[in-house]
Structure 1
């Protein structure tokens, strides 16, 4: 009813605020701390920017679209595509982080010459360009316009995500192509990262106690970043699995509350990453304390 909808909007607003404040803090932490201005944290900033966009754009747009307002077909389609672009940039940023960590443990001596700050920012730009290109595919034809019958360019429709977005695009292209494939690559990369680190630590344990600091630090950071990937998968897979059920078994009716729960979980993901950094990465935790003592104390820390 109306009361449950109001509660849902309040929850979404709280998540949007937590996501924006938490991720703005992540960007500030990297900006004020020189020790964090390395290539990995370029990608973490990219992920934080995507999560800020979730709070500022995706959640408000999702609320607006759920209200079912009337607008032209392509306006509604573009708003729906924006949701996909920002999600896609998160996945590609996570993939870039995984590749970066893999290179760092696989070729530690050559890493600094191959992965420069400039190349890292070029990679970030490429991630966002690719996110825009894949997210805007429905705008060039892979959409539900034909299903609307003889719709003139000036006709208004009730704006719903499923009204404008084709489910075969969401399942085959978006989910299988741009979620399952990157997640599979990431899982493989982190498995190899942990295998290499364990092997190095075992070898160094026999030779020297001092030489394993580098790999101990890498292991701890890799665990934190793998946790970010795991949380992403846990939060995003339910809604994609429900899309697959809707597409492959149209006779199966997904309860509305389950769809809302899936959408809700996908939004929650953006507020979780800053918590992972704050609790698991020591340099982040220390700078958090410094910022808390400074003028940033107060509203920025409500949700952290």
Structure 2
């Protein structure tokens, strides 16, 4: 009958009685969600890809700080790619199998954690550069930064493989119907994840930022007290201190944006004894989590003149090559 056909159309897999039901929304709302998620995904991938190309192509940019920016851009680039799976789940149906669902959650958790971990490394780098400028060239080297970045990525993957161990060992064990994609995190594992991915990083960043702010303010006061004795050497100091204040302000913006984007997600994680994270039902908090990766290149890269110069060079080179082909 006609009513039966409508019921079958509501199922993810109409041929299976145990299939999950699709999430029914007004067409206009579904289209809005598709456009929003797709736009965030494309912008995130494009912006971070531009940062990656710029940092890899131009040798003058191969510095310890820019290695950290490269790590952040790579993690955020993959976050943008993983949003494709979130788009697939808009209707509440997962068609890629239980194993791919488990792999998706591991990659999603690990990559976003790597992004947050790299943000911590960047704040440490800025702390040393601003508070201990004379020690910075010897303490922060490219080799040490590469080791720190490698340890960060490996630790993120290992820790989240352990947290999601049950989901990996038996993919789909927590599904209530066919076509569902959920990951269940035990209470204590969820608490550990919150400390590793949220409370710990936020605490470190906040402490370092307060220290940077105090140093920047004290230097600004010292600069004003000696403004009458400006010399050539003094003008150099003023330039350095202005850049330090700018770095402190940039880090403050990062902290605020980071908290706005990730707080809702971790509040959901702590809302129950067993945190059930459904990629379809938690779309809003997941999107906020993803938006942070879209904003990172704007905050870290667009604030630097070298990035705009690199974009001009890359665009000009591409245009010239197209002209030569014609």
Would the TM-score normalized by the shorter structure come out above 0.5?
yes
Q: Indicate the larger mover: 64-73 or 80-89.
A: 64-73
How many Å apart are 1:42 and its aligned residue? 0.8
Instruction: Encode CA deviations 1:239-288: one digit per residue, 9 max, x unaligned.
Output: 221232344999xxxxx88x322222222222212222454223323333
- Asked if 1:275 is matched to 2:298, the reply is yes
The DSSP-based 3-state class of the residue aligned with 2:85 is helix
Q: Indicate the larger mover: 108-117 or 238-247.
A: 238-247
Change (3 A) 1:147 1:78: closer
Aligned match of 1:124 in 129, 149, 169? 149
Aligned partners of 2:240, 2:109: CA distance in 1, in Å? 38
TM-score of the superposition, structure 1-length normalised? 0.81
Larger Rg: 2
Verify the 8 A CA contact 2:67 2:145 in the aligned structure 1.
Answer: yes
The DSSP-based 3-state class of the residue aligned with 1:158 is coil
- Asked if 1:12 is matched to 2:37, the reply is yes
Instruction: Tell me the residue number matched to 1:64.
Output: 88
How many Å apart are 1:16 and its aligned residue? 1.0
Verify the 8 A CA contact 2:98 2:172 in the aligned structure 1.
Answer: no
Verify the 8 A CA contact 2:110 2:157 in the aligned structure 1.
Answer: yes
Aligned match of 2:262 in 220, 229, 236? 236
Instruction: Tell me the residue number matched to 1:302.
Output: none
Change (3 A) 1:133 1:176: same
What are the within-5 Å matches in structure 2 for residues 21-60 of structure 1?
A: 21-56=46-81, 58-60=82-84
Change (3 A) 1:116 1:249: closer
What are the within-5 Å matches in structure 2 for residues 178-217 of structure 1?
A: 178-207=197-226, 208=230, 209-210=234-235, 211-217=237-243
Change (3 A) 1:284 1:249: closer
Q: How many residues align?
A: 284
Aligned partners of 1:296, 1:113: CA distance in 2, in Å? 41
Structure 1's unaligned 5+ residue stretches are: 251-255, 298-304
Verify the 8 A CA contact 1:20 1:55 in the aligned structure 2.
Answer: yes
Aligned partners of 2:66, 2:181: CA distance in 1, in Å? 37
Aligned partners of 1:249, 1:43: CA distance in 2, in Å? 32
How many Å apart are 1:291 and its aligned residue? 3.6
Aligned partners of 2:118, 2:124: CA distance in 1, in Å? 10
Aligned partners of 1:146, 1:11: CA distance in 2, in Å? 30
The DSSP-based 3-state class of the residue aligned with 1:165 is strand
Verify the 8 A CA contact 1:102 1:189 in the aligned structure 2.
Answer: yes
Q: Indicate the larger mover: 205-214 or 229-238.
A: 205-214
Change (3 A) 1:187 1:249: same
Change (3 A) 1:22 1:75: closer
Instruction: Tell me the residue number matched to 1:174.
Output: 193
Change (3 A) 1:139 1:244: closer
Change (3 A) 1:31 1:75: closer
TM-score of the superposition, structure 2-length normalised? 0.76
Change (3 A) 1:44 1:275: same
Instruction: Encode CA deviations 1:36-56: one digit per residue, 9 max, x unaligned.
Output: 322111111101001110112
How many Å apart are 1:159 and its aligned residue? 3.4
Q: Indicate the larger mover: 86-95 or 131-140.
A: 131-140
How many Å apart are 1:75 and its aligned residue? 4.2
Change (3 A) 1:63 1:138: farther
Give the aligned CA root-mean-square deviation in angstroms: 3.2
Change (3 A) 1:124 1:39: same
Verify the 8 A CA contact 1:143 1:166 in the aligned structure 2.
Answer: no
